[in-house]
Structure 1
Amino acid sequence: MFKWGCDGTSGFSEYKQQSGSSSGIDYSSLFMASMVPLRMRLNKPTSSLNNAVTHEDIWINLTPGSKLLCRPILFEYVKENKATINEYIDNLKAQINAVSPIHIEACKKVIKVTFQGQLTMIDGKVANAITDTSSTWKCNICGKSSTQFRDNSETSINEDALKFGISPLHARIRFLEFCLHLAYDIKYWTTLKEENIAAKNNSDLQKLRKDEKKRIQIEFKEQLGLIIDKPVHGYGSSNDGNTLL
């Protein structure tokens, strides 16, 4: 059993030199897919009547989040978008499903090795693309936005989206951002409530939130050496795994 996934990045420098390949390739963007082996499991039939099988793990990857056993399976100079994501994922799924079992003869026995891949190494953008979620502000499992979570209406669940799993790294990053934005807004909402100000876009309140955000960013930099909540060209935000670790 192995897990696999894909991701893209952009913002690379383009140089004045011949590439030796066909034109039309966007060298400023890179799309890649990779895989990590998770376990080797031995299936032993216990009864021929009901096809009962027992499972015994021969080997388990104790550090599945480490790059030690991560192997690339695709590198392409293309920009990551919905069409690209779906095209390459469908192609890789077809290749994985077409992998034939391996038969190994040892000790007068024939061992049949099959492969099972789980598409779980994805981020929110890839998850939204393959689940056809229209907005990054919506949950790709139930389709609701943050404001719609407040109502008590019945929610329909996309069962297919559950098999993609939840990334612990991205969950921690989103939780960090939630705490940061909460810290930015404490004085804003407190002042708004105490002074009974109806207009939420009051310039003084907006300046108060901006100053509080700047103060928190400076303290993180001075005390921990971390650059938080700042945009990075071609990458997104400075809130990444290195910020958490």
Structure 2
Amino acid sequence: MTRLQSTFAKGPALVCFVTAGDGDTAAILDALVSGGADVIELGMPFTDPMADGPAIQQANLRSLGAGTTTADIFHIAARFREKHADVPLVLMGYANPMITRGPDWFANECRKAGVDGVICVDIPPEEDPELGPALRAAGVSLIRLATPTTDAARLPAVLEGSSGFLYYVSVAGITGLQQAAQASIDEAVARIKQHATIPVAVGFGVRTPEQAAAIARVADGVVVGSALVDLVAQHGANAAGPVRELTRALADAVHSARSG
């Protein structure tokens, strides 16, 4: 089993997102793990993060302003893998930084750094050859996104060639600004699970343990990003403590659904 498969096999997983190069990333990643995060998404900063709301846009700008490069991100990933052998690590970002040196280069760097999966926001299934074959050849999961507008006709294309987990974006629009009604999440997850053979994780707008627990009762994973990125913005170099605290509360809520 892969790290992602064995993690989701334990029950609902807490997936935590932070932006690489925003604050003391190594300390923040350690805080996520010690707080109980099951899967970590590491955002690759980009100049035009079109799917992200103000919190993650500002995190991108802070990281790029500090000079973060793709090489830095792989260095962070490799050090993380040395310290945390069993925690899945996923890179999330946009096509330009991923394919500028060629998809094979990027996929091999992921493999060497111990990256388990990649989420590319702006490569749709129809453009899978841009990155998908290279990732699969390197043993790296291509994790795709589904949204409220992904209907039954399109879902098979989204699932084809996808592995690790499916990320269900629970609201149409940008990250962090709104939270979907739980009833709509329940319906969407049930519908997707009729077709999906991989775990389904739900994100966008999840900020509290109560929201996370409700989603964990129906989904295989809960993704939290903007709430954590806000803490990094607020606390800067001292963010690790507050990040660990929020992660622990979220993890307890998600994991309690395993026996609920």
Query: TM-score band (shorter)?
Result: under 0.3
Higher relative contact order (CA 8 A, sep 6+): 2
The structure with more strand, counted as a fraction of residues: 1
Q: Which has the larger radius of gyration?
A: 1
TM-score under structure 2 normalisation?
0.26
TM-score under structure 1 normalisation?
0.27
